[in-house]
Structure 1
């Protein structure tokens, strides 16, 4: 259990100081991940930038994920949960329209958060993808695949809390996941914070202004 994102970010930063070597860049997943990322970047002496994966929502129920999308160099990296798509009978035409809609939202959010700054250089660096926690890890996996297109030395997903089954799934896929706690049963990420208030866009922008993205 963490008091808030600041406490979790400081603890995660200390953990990564011991676990990582080489030049790093921190890529935070907005919005809550940016608060975590600020403290991780400070601990690692690394630049901070954002990556904006998006959930692909089900027809009539956008909170239910049928997949996730990230974008790298203009190329879409979409992960689809085939079992959910089949169970719900989601048509391919809907999926394509949802991918296009979320792509536009990714581009809008990245431009808004960066405020004209260029994306961080990833080639040859350890790319550390940070969020305030993951449940299924679908959006984090999409983000990791997108980041790998930029030739980093290594891609590391780092979160304060994740369920043990997701940790095992990441390992099976060859994805490195660093986490502080793996409680079971899991439920929702917010259960493991005393203060899990919503982070606003203006706060994300303020954090990014304080940290050059290198």
Structure 2
């Protein structure tokens, strides 16, 4: 894991975070062919990274799977190809049935496929066989979505898979090392509570705005 700093330093907005992240990846000499942003919030971050690394920009999509009677509590996440990551400790603690897990996995995988289809002509990832790829998000809280996305990229045959984020929970960032060849976070503050607390402007990114960044118009 590569962590640049741990202090509570706010980013102006996602574009500012992306420019700082891009500068750090350039400084490290990271070479990739493809940058994948997790929509929608990651696209303003991923655009400067793709431009700086002279890499293609696309998306990788996953959806969180909510707990029974508490959809905001993530049991894990599933990517558009069905790649899934479970929070095993939480699943065991809540004694969630296999039937529920399969139902929510199928439902959210379909939602992820529909979401991916809004951003490209196909729900499928671009050809990543033997490619070097960096997955970018605007921050990591539980790590559920990032885990599922990294698994999808790995399953697609990428030769190297990195995760790069402006800020993340120290625990989640450390756990993501099991899924990525390299994890780079500009900040992993001990007082982390939510990604948004480290941005001065953390407004929602619309689908139209996200697509604009994807097409290079952001």
Whether these two folds match at TM > 0.5 is yes
TM-score, scaled relative to structure 1: 0.90
Q: Is 150-159 or 189-198 further displaced after alignment? A: 150-159
SS at 1:158 equivalent = strand
8 Å CA contact retained: 1:158, 1:178 = yes
User: C-alpha distance in 2, partners of 1:77/1:156?
Assistant: 17
Are residues 1:67 and 2:76 paired?
Answer: yes
Alignment deviations for residues 53-85 of structure 1 (CA, whole Å, 9 cap, x no partner): 11111112211101111144xxx2211112212
Select the residue among 181, 187, 192 that pairs with 1:186: 192
- For 1:108, the equivalent position in structure 2 comes to 114
8 Å CA contact retained: 2:17, 2:45 = yes
**Which aligned pairs between 1:169-184 and structure 2 lie closer than 5 A?**
169-171=175-177, 175-184=181-190
User: C-alpha distance in 2, partners of 1:116/1:68?
Assistant: 21
- For 1:90, the equivalent position in structure 2 comes to 96
User: C-alpha distance in 2, partners of 1:67/1:126?
Assistant: 26
Count the aligned residue pairs: 208
8 Å CA contact retained: 2:47, 2:213 = yes
TM-score, scaled relative to structure 2: 0.88
User: C-alpha distance in 1, partners of 2:180/2:119?
Assistant: 30
Instruction: Output the aligned Cα RMSD.
Output: 1.9
SS at 1:187 equivalent = coil
- For 2:15, the equivalent position in structure 1 comes to 6
Are residues 1:16 and 2:28 paired?
Answer: no
Are residues 1:79 and 2:85 paired?
Answer: yes
Which sections of structure 2, spanning at least 5 residues, go unmatched?
A: 1-9
Q: Is 9-18 or 84-93 further displaced after alignment? A: 84-93
